[in-house]
Structure 1
Amino acid sequence: MPTKLVLTAAAVLLLIVVLPGAGVAGVLSAIFGGSDTITLAKCSTPIADIPPDYCQLYVTAAPDCPGLPWTVLAAIGKAETDHGRSTLPGVRDGENSAGAGGPMQFLASTFASVVAAHPLPPGGVSPPSRYNPSDAIHAAAFLLCDNGARQGDLRAAVFAYNHDDRYVDKVLAQAALYTQAILGGTGETGAGDCDAIQAPNPAALAAINYACGQRGLPYEWGGNGPSRGDTGFDCSGLTTAAYAAAGITLPRTAHTQFHAGPRVPDGQPLLPGDLVFYGTPAKIHHVGLYLGGGLMIDAPDFGQVVKNEPYRYNGDDYAGATRPAR
């Protein structure tokens, strides 16, 4: 069982001792609900173009909505007002031509409805104001949560924030850039270490943590793991169970998982938690769970055990990757 987890894409270094039997649910509860969680904010270190004070607000507000990466909040702040640095009307006072105001560009009616439904935490002003960065960013987290982020549907949540597909694409692309900046720039990211897991979001963290906990179990054709009465796993049995632990349902076979997507575009850096596939689109025969650092965890073949190994090797027939945890 891993002993140290690092949820780097939350811009918070989480050092959590995972006791035997605690399980993934306990880990995630500690991350998002436990008052004793040890957190070391890294916002004092420059992260792309995000001002440190705004970075800290995004990090602090994201747990208002379990499953919401702080980078999505930051990407909205970037798209709306360049993290409050814009000098256009409606940022610090007044409204823009659409009636929006504040660093997260709330309509007055929308902000009021969010605040009525979700009392904002300390740190803002009284009464809450859409022009106060703390109030605005926490309100944005709650609004995204109400519109799909809690269920992991970030696209729907961002679309509800601004009904424009181009805006959604821009925000999600910016969030990915912030994630890459945190996890290691433009190359392949993550350490590939089960004892210090790096993950871009809670679902990827949970999936990797589960898979790492299965190391040493034997390969078993059609195996779904001891919890399902089997001795071990086959490749897609492991990835199915790992993402089930994260609350995400995958198709059962490597071939159907590949075609379920969503695909990671060719040439885009892989992130920890991505699924990596082998074969051809017409016949995918193997899948692993990417850990970072060029490594994956998989159930390789008969006579072998669940283990970490390079995801690329001489003569492989690598077919691409998908990203179930977005």
Structure 2
Amino acid sequence: MSSLFAKAASGIGCTVIALPLVAALIIAALLGGFSFGGGVAASPSRHALGDIPAYMLALYQRAAPECPGLPWTILAAIGKVETDHGRHPTMVSSAGAVGPMQFVPATFRAYADPVPPGGKKPPTPWDPVDAVYAAARLLCANGARNGHDLRSAIHAYNHATWYVDQVVKIATQYAATDLAPTKAAAKAVSFARTQLGTAYVWGGDGPAEGGFDCSGLTQTAYRTAGITIPRIAQAQYDHGPHLPKHTRLAPGDLLFFGTSPRSITHVSLYAGDGRAIDAPRPGAVVREGPAHTNAPSFQGATRPSAPGGGAR
């Protein structure tokens, strides 16, 4: 008997109760945070996920650590105000600023090096990777390092109070209000997002077996973060640690569904801002959609990344 069929015969698999399919292809990395816009690397809000192209969202998050203490939401808000994340048809201003982050070429050259991974050689303000990294460095040089004076840093980007206020407002809208995830939980969510579109396979633990089922996805996601949890959804629920009812969720929490706490039939991974990632059913794919924590079938949540939540 193959390992896949052996696992299926052991009761591994998922049945979803009232969970509609909502497909999304979003690349993001979720980490902990604080300060402006909900955190240095706060979870993106639903508004951010809908407003920022997936490639640009990932880029803002990847470039922000270039300046310790700079929230990715500030970079994203500047990109929004300047060119609507590169959607402006010409991206050339009357002052001669160019590209998605609107750099005057001479200013860009001062912050273009070193060329970031994926950037152009020679660097150019027209390239999104080069431009976003240069923007992070410019902000860092003008007060953003360690969150020292973010308003002054934004003002240095564009010398207008209205501009600073608008960037801060948008940055706040781009940050979710969930609790900040632990580093391990962030890694688990990031891994799960890389599997969006992977086929559902009953008893599956990953691409080598053709795909995942619900608990295979959550177990593998946490294994990549160095945390061991049981394989089957019921066992994962029983493993805990359980969150009291009405506890604020954090990205990485596991959400469980079934007819009772003793009959868990499905598990998903909370991704933040009321959304979750799961492998729902045969014929479907790994998806991101509403978390459904108000559904009658929702039985509760656990936090494997909490102290004592899993073997390390």
Larger RCO, structures 1/2 (Cα 8 Å, 6+ apart): 2
TM-score calculated relative to the size of structure 1: 0.44
